[in-house]
Amino acid sequence: MTTLTAEVNRKAVKAPVKSMMDNVMEQFGSAAEQIDLHPNIKKILSITNNEIIVNFPVKMDNGNVEVFTGYRVQHNNALGPYKGGLRYHPTVDIDAARALAMWMTWKTSLAGLPFGGGKGGIKLDPSKYSQTELERITRRFTYALADNIGPEHDIPAPDVNTNSQTMAWMADTYMSTRPPAERTANQHVVTGKPAGSGGLEGRDRATGYGVYLSIKFWAEKHDKSLNGKKIIVQGFGNVGYWAAYFLEKDGAKLVAVQDAYGSIQNQKGISVEDLYNYIQINDGSIADFPKARPIEKTMFFTLNCDICIPAALGNQITEENAPRIKARLIAEGANGPTSVEGEKILLERGINIIPDILCNSGGVVGSYFEWLQNRNGELWQLDEVMGKLDKKLKESFEKVYSYAEREGMDMRTAAYCLAIERIEKANKQRGIFP
């Protein structure tokens, strides 16, 4: 049904807007061609293993009942349990969950983790609900998903508009509904929990830190220093904030930020800490930040800068704005922020892209550490976590960079080739049951 509707819509509009699913399938298709992927494996990877849709009722604060639709798509588990976040956003639907689940499969494979890929979420705008309502929504969603997730089966994590509090509610609900003797053994059913409740020290900054490291590694390859470099960041959530935080520490200058509520610019520099403190007292929004001036939404990606970090939603850089982008480097903090057409234009213009499945993989690597920590009953220190992240991300970056150099291809295609080759190998070793 979804595909049919999408087809009809596509024909009705003049310039077809591609979905994230179209993008991920095209990216997969070009890499599959490059490595001559076996047609049987291509068939398997072109489709998701399982798709769970749940409709569940929740009592609102005013006594009314609302019914929500939640999704969990499990794309592939050839390398280990399904892994990936849950997002709360009006754009969540089955198509988005499929695309995002596929990206997780490539991401975990590229990072060398023993995980597959999954993704999901609830179609809702969380700003319209109170904390107590969000808690009940999360708990009821977890309960509805319970037979389909599990610490060795499918392990959700935070994503857009979900955080460590969401994961604490999920872990508590899941564990509370297990037989008493099994409860604590299930703590790793989700990752991204608060550090005091089985979470990993540093998991909060892991994705943004990984984005920063990827940029640093790229700069080193190009004999460039980050000092004085101008950066623009779309999305000042967990990823955007921490990426800007670490870049600023290295001397880079945040000159513009965009979020769901507004776009601001100050070419003299925006203090990351000031902006962070401001959003704490402004309902999480950057709008009207007094030390920058508001700008037109569509101008954002075309601003003067050296590095552009899309760290919000998919399909933000497209053929519409790609010809006017001034950055020399795009570091994808979000999943799927650049459309295939947008990317073609950027590459022709000599603009480099550090692809999402590499650039934002610090988050899932941090999740892997948390999972291991829970599984082994350990507690890791922050410096230990950061050191391990550094090592892991450096390895991935080097692998992708040298593959791209050797094969004369862009970094996204190289990252996909590496990711798919690993899954193809596992599939070949295991064969097909029966």
Cβ closest to ligand GLU, residue 104 vs residue 322: 104
Per residue in 110-122, is it b (16+ CB within 10 Å) or e — as a string? bbbbebbbbbbbb
How far, in Å, CA of 145 to CA of 174, rounded?
A: 9
Cis, bond preceding 434 (omega within 30 deg of 0): yes
How far, in Å, CA of 195 to CA of 381, rounded?
A: 10
CB of 227 to ligand GLU, least distance (A): 29
| Catalytic-residue membership of 326 | no
Cβ closest to ligand GLU, residue 37 vs residue 364: 364
CB of 53 to ligand GLU, least distance (A): 20
Q: Given 14, 18, 107, 119, which residue is catalytic? A: 119
Cβ closest to ligand GLU, residue 88 vs residue 278: 88
CB of 34 to ligand GLU, least distance (A): 24
Cβ closest to ligand GLU, residue 257 vs residue 334: 334
| Phi-psi group of 342: left, alpha or beta (phi > 0 → left; psi -120 to 50 → alpha; rest → beta) | alpha
CB of 1 to ligand GLU, least distance (A): 27
Residue nearest to ligand GLU (CB): 85
Residues in contact with 270: Cβ distance below 8 Å, sequence separation at least 6, in sequence order: 254, 255, 256, 257, 264, 289, 291, 292
CB atoms within 10 A of CB 408: 7
In the sheet that holds 154-158, the strands lie side by side as 50-59, 65-76, 117-122, 82-88, 154-158
Cβ closest to ligand GLU, residue 191 vs residue 427: 191
CB of 405 to ligand GLU, least distance (A): 26
Binding site for ligand GLU (CB under 6 A): 83-85, 107, 157, 159, 191, 335, 360, 363-364, 367
Strand partners, 253: 230
Q: Which residues are catalytic?
A: 119
